[in-house]
């Protein structure tokens, strides 16, 4: 397995991992109609816009298997809401189901956190769905619970939590 900076040619692979991991991770959590509506092409368009903005104050990393296929990725940057005493945010971390639970997420969080630290971020926040079976992954790193809220997905009101680390160095 190899972790590296994402490049423009990775957009299709990133979109595939994002859609496929949502469909497996959130099955029974998020309405099936929403999961069925996810399209690779739509995620590719979003990621194209992200790549066009550049990565001066953000980062995206991919994890490749031995066949150089993207099997996971993570991204982070400036905390988006401005409501919290955290300057950085982990936006995404997704792995294909067959690669979850192998310790790759820990390595990926470390790399993203180090990159964000070098860019001047001192703390990190992450939002996730309460019923996400992978939520315990974040708890390994000893976060503090920062907030909770509700999000509406395809008519379903779901609870989400925010965890945070006051010192980004705690993650690497």
pLDDT in tens, 33-81: 999 999 999 999 999 999 999 899 999 999 999 999 999 999 999 999 9
For residue range 115-148, what is the model confidence (pLDDT) as tens digits?
999 999 999 999 999 998 888 899 999 999 999 9
Angstrom distance (rounded) from CA 87 to CA 130:
23
Task: Quote the mean pLDDT of the chain.
Answer: 95
Confidence (pLDDT) at 133: 81
- Taking every pair of Cα atoms in the chain, the longest distance, rounded to a whole number of angstroms, is 42
Are 109 and 3 within 8 A, CB to CB? no
Confidence (pLDDT) at 136: 87
- Res 93 pLDDT > 90: yes
- Res 156 pLDDT > 90: yes
Supply the pTM of this predicted model.
0.94
Residue range 88-104: average pLDDT? 95
- Reading the block at residue 136, the tokens are 């315990």
- Res 159 pLDDT > 90: yes
- Res 11 pLDDT > 90: yes
């Amino acid at each position: 397995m190899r972790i590296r900076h994402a490049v423009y040619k990775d957009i299709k692979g990133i979109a595939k991992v994002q859609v496929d991991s949502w469909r497996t991770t959130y099955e029974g959590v998020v309405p099936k109609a929403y999961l069925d509506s996810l399209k690779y092409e739509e995620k590719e368009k979003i990621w194209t816009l992200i790549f066009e903005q550049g990565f001066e104050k953000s980062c995206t990393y991919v994890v490749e298997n031995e066949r150089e296929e993207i099997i996971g990725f993570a991204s982070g940057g400036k905390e988006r809401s401005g409501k919290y005493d955290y300057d950085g945010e982990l936006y995404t971390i997704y792995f294909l189901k067959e690669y979850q639970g192998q310790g790759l997420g820990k390595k990926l969080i470390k790399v993203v956190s180090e990159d964000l630290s070098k860019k001047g971020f001192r703390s990190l926040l992450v939002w996730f769905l309460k019923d996400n079976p992978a939520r315990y992954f974040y708890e390994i790193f000893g976060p503090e619970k920062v907030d909770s809220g509700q999000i509406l997905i395809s008519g379903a009101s779901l609870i989400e939590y925010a965890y945070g680390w006051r010192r980004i160095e705690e993650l690497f």
